[in-house]
Every structure is written in structure tokens, then in C-alpha cells.
């Protein structure tokens, strides 16, 4: 696991190289090897002038051993405390060794990997495109517990450590990590990095950590007057949601800053163990590590060999079309964007992108992605125009968010090559791609769409056809529930606050404005037209009144559930009160929160039962990445599975608020 070599200058290089994994992690193999390496360093101290810690992998160190973390129970707390104390003890023996220690960071150093580097006196990062440094633990419901909080606070000061590194989960490029204080130097090649490391060791024989030098004070001191404001600031950042990981990170940082280093380490360990043995961290690790790995690894991809995409045609140069074109071009694919006029097509211009109004320019494209207005006739027309020109076996994809793929495929001569590729807006930021399989879509088309999605950096879930598919259907349930609450007489601020406190990234009424109430209305009317048994709800009446009577179609028009000024929300519209049921009713905040969470979870269970969802993993990842289901739940289906009494609570909600909450 760790190769130990000493050169003629007495510099020892510890090379991390786990023989059983493609990346180094803080597993049992590492722990034993690091203890042995530090033991040997101390035994041979008189012959050592310095130490370089580096890696033989493509990355430096991937972080903690998440599979073992996910199994931790409260009964494991004593063993976890002992394990963490061993890891921290070895780091402490390394940084107090009395010889300069340099981290030569030859690739990504995330979480535990960055903690390895922080236990060194000097950090040199290889400045390559793939190198990232950061503490993603907060995004998994954890905290950096191998000294990460303690050292970062002592290195940078309380506020910079929290706001830049610990609470954000951000992964920084080497230059940004240098600017933000956790990296000391950059190198352009591995050889240069090791040369810099040796030179620094020889120039700094008395190196020590700042906190081990006499007279050390935390940068900026302890802002005693500001300490009471930290919890309030965090609460504001979390929009009222109660999430244990950021709260524990704040507590660890503030408590640890007021005691000596060793005591701070113990505080950090105890807070991490509380998170490790809790439910929320298991939910988040389950979704954002295990489910994500399964989905990106091709869990739902048919096992067929298909050729890679070579040239992409995008039909429509609006916001979605331009975003799709840019994502493909960024991945190195030649892209041709067609619209009805050269001027409209030019909206999508960019590096690697050709824009045109001439269908002949699409000759040879082996992927077609249509991103025009949500109108079935228009979509069929644009495909009919390009089919004679593009490659005879081109993948034919529609970026529809709701229209059934099977119906759209009836307008093309090759329905086996026709598929849905539902991108999310803005395409450049949203990581999810929902691949929708029609009744006649071939396995080869699914595999080609999946491979293209991975190539352009998306996480592709694969779902079967159905109106609204998975994501649009389930997020529609969320918006419907909110508007239904409004129709019941629940105050609009309570609706928005309940969703935020449940952990949703935005309130459902604000989201409805962003989507546009006109689109919500049009999709619902399409549903009504397609079904003889579609139930009309009070929320539908309210949307119709907002659009048709009050001319408040949403944010794009500056008028919706919210009022807008200078393109910003200025507050909820005063007229909402007049749209509610006059008598109204008081609904407990806990019921409001659960109505959102349960409405989506129950609909997701129906999607799985009906075969719209192919796998639970796709449902969990799709709900978190695509429609903002709270990450602390571990995803929409995991929320139901891990709830103490999901069916009982659902039955309780059904008795109070309607049969839509009846357990599946």
C-alpha cells in the first residue's frame, strides 16, 4: 500500500498505491500501512532529512472508505473512535516528526485525501485539468473527521475555513486551492512537482505546522462577538432546513477553535461518529455514492456494442437547443445547429458549433437531438425534414419533457432509432439526463443515448415511456400539492417555508413561476385530453384563474404567484388570498412538509410499480439531481424505504387530505 524509499539526500518518499483498488482510500489496508510507514520513519529518524508523500495512482487520494462508513451503527462507536484515533495519531506523528514533510499531490485529493495533505508542512499540487481538491463530506451528510476541520480552521481562520471549504463541499482546481490557502505551490509536471518538493525540504529543515510553533494564534483570532451570529447565518443558508452535517461542522469548528489541538481532534471525532452512525448520512451515501456509481456505471444500459457519436445535429437554437449544443461541443463533438433562419440559428453559435438554416448542412450527422417547442406536430415536421439528409442510421432523439415518445415515434420511418433525451435547464449546470424508451425503441438506441450522455458529462437515468415520464410527472405532483394547499386556504408563505424546511432547494410556488403557469396549464390539459378518467382538482381551477382571469402566467411575464421588479422576486402576490377557499383551514407545519415528501414518494412508487421507472437507483438519482427532492432523504424511493412507518403515516395523511396519499 505504501512504498518506502530513501534517496542519497536522506529524503524518504512514501508512495501510496493500494494494490486492491484503482484509487487510494482510507481503508484498513491504508491504516495499517501508514502506521508501519510512520513507525519506520521514527526508527530511522537519524538518517532522514525529509519526507515526500505522493501517489502512484492517477489521483492522489480519493477519501474515506465509504462502503465501511455506510455500515456503521451506534454499536460501532467505540471501534470507530479507536480507528479514527489511530489515523489521527499517525498524522500527528508525521507532522511532529521533526523533519520537513511535503505532500506532492499528483491528482485529485478529496476529503480524506486532502486531510493526508494537510498533515504535511507544505503542499504542491499538479496543475492538470482533472485535479480537484476539496471537502465533499458535507454533501454526503458527513464532516472531514481525520483532522480536516481542526487543521483547516487553524490554517485559515474560522470564517474562511467554514465559508470557503468546509460548508460548501466545493471541489477546487489547483490554482483556486492555492488562492484559497490550502495549497502552497503548483507544478506543471510530476517531475517538476517532485523537484520542488526536494528543494523545499532542503531549504526548510526546521519546518513545523503553524499551530506547533510558539506564540501561534488562529488567523483572525476568535471572533467572540460574532459567534452567536454563526448559527443564524447557517440557518439562513439552509433556508430553515435542519441538516445535521453542516450543523456538526459548525459546532466542530467553533468548539475546536477554543481549545488545544488534541482536544479539538477529539471533538471532531465525536461529531463525526454521531453523523456516521445516523440515518441521514447513510441515506446520502446510499444515493450519492452507491446509487450514483450504479447509474453512471450503466446499471440500466443494455449490454450491446454500439458505435460512438461522431457528429451531432441539434434542431432548434433556443435556450435548450443552445445548451445541448454547447454541452456536446465542449465534449469535443462537432455540432450543427439548425433553426428556421440564419439569425435564429446564430443564437447557438460557439466554439465547435456550426449554425445554419439549410437542412443540407446536416448531412452525415449520426445523432439528431430535437429541441423545438412542445408541439407534437412541429416535432414530427422537423424530423421529417432532416431524415432524408442525416446518416441513415442516425440516432433520433427528442428533448421533450412530457410528450410520450411512442406517439412522437409514429411520425418517423425508423421508430427503433427514436428515443427521448430529456435535458434539464440550464443544460450547462444541471447534471441529469432522462433517457426515455418508447414502445419500439431498440436496445442499441438506448445504449447510444446513454453513451452520449456519459460522454457529455451527464448522469443518465433510463425510464420507460409514459406521460410526463418520471421527472416531469413527479415534480408535477409536488407543484400540484402546493397549489392545492393554496386553494385550501393555507397561507402562501407557510407553503413556501414548509418546502424549504423539508430541504427542497426552492419553494413550489416560486418553482411554478419559473416553469410558467402557462406550461403547467398546457401539460395538464394534454393529460386531460389523453385520459377519460383524469381527475380535476382544486389546484387546476386555481391555475386556470391565475392564467386566464388574472393574467399572471409566471416569472417570464413578470407576474405569477410572486410579484417581480427588475427581474427579481419582490414578494408573494397580494391577490393570492382571494383565490383560496374562504373558510380555509389550519394545517400543521409537519403535515405540510410531509405532504410534499409523501406526495412525490408515493407517485415514485407508482412509477416503479407501473414500469415507468426501471430501477430504484434511477428514481433516487433522478429525484435528487433532476427535480430537487431533498438530498438528505437519499432519494424519493429510499425515503419511503427507510421511514420508520411510511405506510402508517401515508394512511394518516390520506385520512386528512385525500386518497392520493393512500399507501401503494
DSSP 66: H
Q: What is the C-alpha to C-alpha distance for residues 35 and 14, in angstroms, rounded to an integer?
A: 12
Residue 583 among the catalytic residues = no
Element (H, E) at 367: strand 367-370
Query: Which of 44, 75, 95, 137 is the catalytic position?
Result: 137
How many C-alpha atoms does 152 have within 13 Å on its Cβ side? 33
Task: Find all residues with CB under 8 Å of 512, minimum gap 6, and list them.
Answer: 479, 482, 483, 520, 554, 560, 561
C-alpha cell at 348: 447557438
Cα Rg of the chain, angstroms: 28
Query: Which of 95, 115, 481, 617 is the catalytic position?
Result: 115
Closest to 540 in 3D by CA, of 517, 561, 514: 517
Task: Find all residues with CB under 8 Å of 239, minimum gap 6, and list them.
Answer: 500, 501, 505
Q: What is the C-alpha to C-alpha distance for residues 53 and 46, in angstroms, rounded to an integer?
A: 19
CA dihedral 649, 653, 655, 656 (to 10 degrees): 140
Residue 192 among the catalytic residues = no
Q: What is the C-alpha to C-alpha distance for residues 104 and 81, in angstroms, rounded to an integer?
A: 29
Q: What is the DSSP pairing of strand 568-572 with strand 562-565?
A: antiparallel
Task: Find all residues with CB under 8 Å of 177, minimum gap 6, and list them.
Answer: 125, 133, 134, 183
Q: What is the C-alpha to C-alpha distance for residues 348 and 15, in angstroms, rounded to an integer?
A: 47
Using the CB atoms, write b or e for 579-605: b if 16+ within 10 Å: bbeeeeeebeeebbbbbbbbbbbbbbb
Spatial contact of 285 and 69, defined as CB atoms under 8 Å apart:
yes
Q: Which residues are catalytic?
A: 115, 137
Amino acid at each position: 500500500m505504501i512504498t518506502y524509499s530513501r534517496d542519497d539526500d536522506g529524503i524518504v518518499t512514501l508512495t501510496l498505491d493500494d494494490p486492491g483498488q484503482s484509487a487510494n482510500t482510507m481503508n484498513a489496508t491504508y491504516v495499517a500501512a501508514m502506521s508501519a510507514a510512520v513507525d519506520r520513519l521514527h526508527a530511522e529518524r537519524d538518517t532522514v532529512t525529509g519526507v515526500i508523500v505522493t501517489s502512484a495512482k492517477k489521483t492522489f487520494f480519493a477519501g474515506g472508505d465509504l462502503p465501511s462508513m455506510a455500515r456503521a451503527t451506534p454499536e460501532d462507536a467505540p471501534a470507530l473512535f479507536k480507528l479514527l484515533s489511530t489515523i489521527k495519531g499517525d498524522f500527528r506523528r508525521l507532522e511532529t516528526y521533526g523533519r520537513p514533510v511535503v505532500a506532492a499531490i499528483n491528482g485529485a485529493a478529496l476529503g480524506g485525501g486532502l486531510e493526508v495533505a494537510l498533515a504535511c508542512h507544505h503542499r504542491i499540487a499538479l496543475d492538470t485539468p482533472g485535479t480537484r481538491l476539496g471537502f465533499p463530506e458535507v454533501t454526503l451528510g458527513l464532516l472531514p473527521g481525520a483532522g480536516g476541520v481542526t487543521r483547516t480552521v487553524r490554517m485559515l481562520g474560522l470564517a474562511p475555513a467554514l465559508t470557503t471549504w468546509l460548508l460548501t463541499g466545493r471541489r477546487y482546481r489547483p490554482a483556486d486551492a492555492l488562492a484559497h490557502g490550502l495549497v502552497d505551490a503548483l507544478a506543471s509536471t510530476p517531475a517538476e512537482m517532485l523537484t520542488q518538493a526536494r528543494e523545499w525540504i532542503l531549504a526548510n529543515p526546521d519546518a513545523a505546522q503553524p499551530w506547533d510553533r510558539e506564540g501561534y494564534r488562529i488567523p483572525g483570532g476568535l471572533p467572540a462577538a460574532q459567534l452567536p451570529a454563526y448559527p443564524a447565518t447557517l440557518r439562513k443558508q439552509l433556508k430553515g432546513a435542519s441538516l445535521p452535517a453542516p450543523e456538526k461542522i459548525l459546532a466542530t469548528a467553533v468548539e475546536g477553535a477554543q481549545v488545544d489541538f488534541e482536544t479539538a481532534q477529539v471533538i471532531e471525532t465525536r461529531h463525526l461518529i454521531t453523523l456516521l452512525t445516523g440515518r441521514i448520512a447513510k441515506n446520502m451515501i446510499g444515493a450519492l455514492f452507491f446509487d450514483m456509481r450504479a447509474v453512471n456505471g450503466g446499471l440500466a444500459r443494455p449490454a450491446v456494442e454500439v458505435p460512438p457519436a461522431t457528429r451531432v445535429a441539434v434542431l432548434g437554437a433556443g435556450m435548450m437547443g443552445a445548451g445541448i449544443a454547447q454541452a456536446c461541443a465542449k465534449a469535443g463533438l462537432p455540432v450543427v445547429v439548425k433553426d428556421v433562419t440564419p439569425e435564429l440559428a446564430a443564437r447557438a453559435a460557439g466554439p465547435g458549433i456550426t449554425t445554419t438554416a439549410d437542412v443540407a448542412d446536416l448531412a452525415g450527422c449520426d445523432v439528431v437531438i430535437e429541441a423545438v417547442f412542445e408541439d407534437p406536430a412541429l416535432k414530427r415536421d422537423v424530423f421529417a425534414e432532416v431524415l432524408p439528409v442525416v446518416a441513415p442510421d442516425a440516432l433520433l432523439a427528442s428533448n421533450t419533457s412530457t410528450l410520450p415518445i411512442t406517439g412522437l415515434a409514429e411520425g418517423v420511418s425508423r421508430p427503433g432509432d427514436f428515443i427521448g433525451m430529456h435535458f434539464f435547464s440550464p443544460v450547462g449546470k444541471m447534471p441529469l439526463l432522462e433517457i426515455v424508451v418508447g414502445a419500439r425503441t431498440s436496445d442499441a438506441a438506448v445504449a447510444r443515448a446513454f453513451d452520449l450522455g456519459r460522454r457529455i458529462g451527464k448522469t443518465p437515468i433510463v425510464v420507460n415511456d409514459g406521460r410526463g415520464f418520471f421527472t416531469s410527472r413527479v415534480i408535477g405532483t409536488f407543484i400540484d400539492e402546493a397549489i392545492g394547499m393554496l386553494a385550501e386556504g393555507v397561507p402562501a408563505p407557510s407553503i413556501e417555508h414548509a418546502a424549504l424546511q423539508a430541504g427542497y432547494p426552492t419553494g413550489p410556488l416560486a418553482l411554478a413561476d419559473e416553469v410558467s403557469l402557462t406550461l403547467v396549464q398546457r401539460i395538464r390539459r394534454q393529460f386531460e385530453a389523453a385520459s377519460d378518467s383524469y381527475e380535476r382538482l382544486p389546484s387546476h381551477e386555481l391555475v386556470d384563474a391565475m392564467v386566464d382571469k388574472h393574467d399572471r402566467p409566471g416569472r417570464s411575464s413578470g407576474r405569477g404567484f410572486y410579484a417581480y421588479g427588475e427581474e427579481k422576486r419582490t414578494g408573494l402576490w397580494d391577490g393570492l388570498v382571494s383565490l383560496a377557499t374562504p373558510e380555509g383551514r389550519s394545517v400543521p407545519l409537519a403535515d405540510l412538509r410531509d405532504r410534499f415528501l409523501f406526495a412525490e414518494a408515493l407517485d415514485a412508487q407508482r412509477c416503479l410499480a407501473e414500469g415507468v421507472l426501471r430501477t430504484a437507483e434511477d428514481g433516487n438519482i433522478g429525484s435528487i439531481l433532476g427535480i430537487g427532492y431533498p438530498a438528505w432523504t437519499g432519494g424519493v424511493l429510499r425515503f419511503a424505504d427507510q421511514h420508520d412507518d411510511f405506510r402508517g403515516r401515508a394512511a394518516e395523511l390520506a385520512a386528512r387530505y385525500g386518497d392520493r396519499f393512500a399507501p401503494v
